[in-house]
Amino acid sequence: MTSPRGSVPAPDASPLPARPRLIATDLDGTLLHDDKSVSDRTIAALERAEEAGIEVFFVTGRPARWMEVVSAHVHGHGMAICANGAAVVDLHSGGKLLMARPLDRAVALDVVGALRAAAPGTTFAVEQTTGINYEPAYPAFVQDPGATIATAEKLLRTEETGETGEADDGTPAPVLKLLAHHPELTPDGFLALARTVAGDRATLTRSSPTALLEISGLGVSKASTLALCCAERSISSDEVVAFGDMPNDLEMLTWAGTSYAMGNAHPDVLAAASGRTVTNNEDGVAVVMEEILARL
């Protein structure tokens, strides 16, 4: 079987729904090229899918403020699931927050304490609906020059101090996720350790090639929030085609009726998905979308 253009190998055969109603795709390492661009081929496939009545959801670990890379390519609904399921935003209105599934601050403090004890040298950042703040030794966010620099304990106790992270009404902004970085541990080793010491209190995953963990409220994931959004639209999991490349995509790929791991995906993702496509730099998502549209 060849791809519609013949220049890129077709994806592994996977039973596609007769008429999928929603495509859910990760961004970094999946829809985006490594240079963070969206190819013309992918832009065309996204537009054709929505013209055919198939909704496209961007489902990412990125915060809403980093969605400018795809904002221009959202058509009908304008929805995006950000921060690994902790936020649903409307890209048509500049990233307006429609739903938040926050991480309780007391739980986040417990997790910080557990990881400091189990993995000395761990540093933290706190992602809130108002932006990100982080510890002095945490790798700096060049895209967020206005961040507050303080210990995680201080950042997470803003309801007591009132010093950082306030929402427009003066109340503490919800915490969407906690980020934990270790300079020496392997990425998968750090994740396994963190799940052992804190997996009963929060959802822990990763999407970075470095030892950087993303920590959300217990039960919050790309999959659980996608399921809520689909239920609102009376869309079943069997009518969803999902794409991903890293461990934070695993739950979504196993929830969706049809799923594709990118050719560049983590081994666990390759094992979990029902199909495989080519790499992100070869427009693997577009390859499958073109096949879906050709069948229609």
SS (H, E, C) 26-45: CHHHHHCCCCCCCCHHHHHH
Domain over 105-217 is classified CATH 3.30.1240.10 = yes
Q: Which fold has domain 22-101+221-295?
A: Rossmann fold (3.40.50)
Q: What is the dihedral of CA 188, 60, 97, 41, to 10 degrees?
A: 170
- Among 133, 142, 113, smallest CA distance to 179 is for 133
Mean pLDDT of 275-296: 95
Domains 22-101+221-295 and 105-217 share a fold: no
> Contacts for 288-292 with beta carbons within 8 Å, 24 or more apart?
288/11, 288/241, 288/243, 288/260, 289/23, 289/45, 289/46, 289/48, 289/49, 290/3, 290/4, 290/5, 290/45, 291/3, 291/4, 291/10, 291/11, 291/16, 292/16, 292/20, 292/23, 292/49, 292/54, 292/241
- At 33-70, the pLDDT tens digits run 999 999 999 999 999 998 999 999 999 999 988 887 78
- At 168-206, the pLDDT tens digits run 556 789 999 999 999 999 999 999 999 999 999 999 999
CA distance 171 to 148: 17
83 close to 62: Cβ distance less than 8 angstroms: yes
Residue 290 pLDDT > 60:
yes
Residue 239 pLDDT > 70:
yes
| pLDDT > 70 in the chain, percent | 88
Mean pLDDT of 145-150: 88
CA distance 217 to 96: 21
- Annotated domain spans of the chain: 22-101+221-295, 105-217
